[in-house]
Structure 1
Amino acid sequence: MRDELAQVGARLRIVRRSRGWTLDELASRAGMSASTLSRLESGKRQASLELLLPLTRQLGIRVDDLISVDASDPRIHRPVIRRDGLVIAPLAPESSPVHTYKITYPPVAVLPELRVHDGYEWIYVLAGRLRLRLGDQDLTLTRGEAAEFDTRTPHAISAAGGKPAQVISIFNDDGVRMHTHAPEPQDP
């Protein structure tokens, strides 16, 4: 906690300067002396709620905005999913609002059946050639090309040619369930 408070003054200075205010202007608006604000910003005066509340009100920020939160490890540690010959590597935390995956499609002799499901998908080809059958369209995407589509349109995706295709895919919640979870057994 002490390290977090040590950075409050520097953050306060950054916000003040981003507003284009001088020490005198902010101090006057917050009802304190410019020397008190200067000592606070330079770390020579300890931050207290009594000092910070009038300053944050004037700056239009929260006290929390001045206190750093230790960043957790940003790396993604989720297992790779192997399903129907695909290799699906999660690129975002499970709790992320954006569901991003690196998917490797193996070469296949026959295009998979067209499927329809709720959802929306965006794909970007990293390597190889990707065949996208979307409704009546039969498209081949190459490295650097992207596509986005409503998955309620009948579609199928596979590698085109004899080599795997690697893509980055972004799904909404329905698309994630369809691509990363095993199908549920059908009732007889």
Structure 2
Amino acid sequence: MSSSAPTLGALLRNLRSRNGWTLKEMGAKSGIPVSTLSKVEHDRLTLSYDKLLQLSQRLGMRMSELFAENDDALVQPVTARRSVGSIAHSVRVETANYDYHYLCTELRKKRMIPVIVKIRAKTAKEFGALVRHAGEEYIFVLKGRVVVTSEFYDPVILEEGGSIYLDSSMGHAYLAAEGCEEAEVLGVMSSADDEHMQTLLTMHEDRATVGAGSGGERADVGGLRGKRR
């Protein structure tokens, strides 16, 4: 006895049902018009690969999860992964504005990237172009005072113990506030991209030096990306 595979429309209906979304809510989350989603769910239209990729990224899912037929298919195995991190064993990336200490770098395909950042730039002019990359990030001020600037909001000052959560694709910059020589923050960056760490390191490639720990030998970013396990 053979069973036919579910259509894309059935899979999207199941996905919407599992999350309790209306068509309008799913359209708002995915950026795909409600009329298009409705036609797909009724098997009158299909989606291109680019649209499926957009759908998965906007919903914060892997492509494979879009095609899961039931909740059992979404159960993830326990990997028992763990990594104990410290600045002494971090990967250091120095740029004109920041001194990054990437933690737990031996783990690949992390969905969260923890990093200690020392902030030196004090003005928008000194900083230069705002930074943009995929995903979201959370910043917690450990030392000093930080000015957070972004393309859609007025600057905000964070004192020690203050924090901010933002969309990383929005242009943004962190500056040391007036009277603060250097600030230090804990940042956690997340993305649906399994190789987000590699993407972040690529951003530094043309304007950074890299080292292992606080006194390690320096290496180029491209070489470092090739050596990570």
Q: Judge conservation of contact 1:107–1:160 (CA < 8 Å) in 2.
A: no
- Contact between 1:106 and 1:164, CA under 8 Å: does it hold in 2? yes
Provide the rounded CA distance (Å) in 2 between the counterparts of 1:72 and 1:119: 22
**How far apart, in 2, do the equivalents of 1:75 and 1:140 lie?**
29
Q: Please tell me whether residue 92 in structure 1 is matched to residue 104 in structure 2.
A: yes
Secondary structure at the counterpart of residue 167 of structure 1: strand
1:12-44 Cα deviation digits (max 9, x unpaired): xxxxxxxxxxxxxxxxxxxxxxxxxxxxxxxxx
Q: Secondary structure at the match of 2:173?
A: strand
Task: Give the 3-state SS of the residue equivalent to 1:144 in structure 2.
Answer: coil
Name the structure 1 match of 2:153: 136
Equivalent of 2:185, from 141, 163, 167? 167
Q: 1:99 to 1:141 in 2, by over 3 A?
A: same
TM-score by length of 2: 0.43
After TM superposition, list the pairs within 5 Å mapping 1:97-136 onto structure 2. Answer: 97=110, 98-111=112-125, 112=127, 113-134=129-150, 135-136=152-153
| Percent identity of paired positions between Structure 1 and Structure 2 | 20
Alignment-mate amino acid for residue 145 of structure 2: R
- Once residues 132 and 149 of structure 1 are traced to their aligned partners in structure 2, the CA distance between those partners, rounded to angstroms, is 10
> Unaligned stretches of 5+ in structure 1?
1-68
Over 3 Å counting, the alpha-carbon distance change for 1:129 and 1:177 in structure 2 is farther
Distance 1:146 1:154 in 2: 18
Contact 1:88/1:180 (8 A) holds in 2: no
Question: What's the CA shift string for 1:28-87, capped at 9, x where partnerless?
Answer: xxxxxxxxxxxxxxxxxxxxxxxxxxxxxxxxxxxxxxxxx9x99845523321122311
Deviation per CA, 1:104-129, whole angstroms, max 9, x where unpaired?
00142435333333221100000111
**Deviation of residue 141 (structure 1)?**
0.4
Sort the Cα spacing of 1:107 and 1:75 in 2 relative to 1 into closer, same or farther, 3 A: closer
Residues in 1 aligned to 2:154 and 2:199: alpha-carbon distance in whole angstroms: 22
Q: Quote the RMSD (CA, aligned, Å).
A: 3.1
Are the equivalent residues in 2 in contact too, given 1:107–1:161 (CA < 8 A)?
no
| Runs of at least 5 residues in structure 2 that lack an aligned partner in the other structure | 1-79, 208-229
Q: Residue 149 and residue 91 in structure 1: after superposition, are their counterparts in 2 closer, same or farther (change >3 A)?
A: same
Task: Give the conservation status (yes or no) of the 8 Å contact 2:92–2:99.
Answer: yes
TM-score (norm 1): 0.51
Q: Give the C-alpha shift of residue 95 in structure 1.
A: 1.4
Rounded to whole Å, the distance in 2 between the matches of 1:120 and 1:81 is 20
CA gap 1:184/1:86 in 2 versus in 1, 3 angstroms: closer
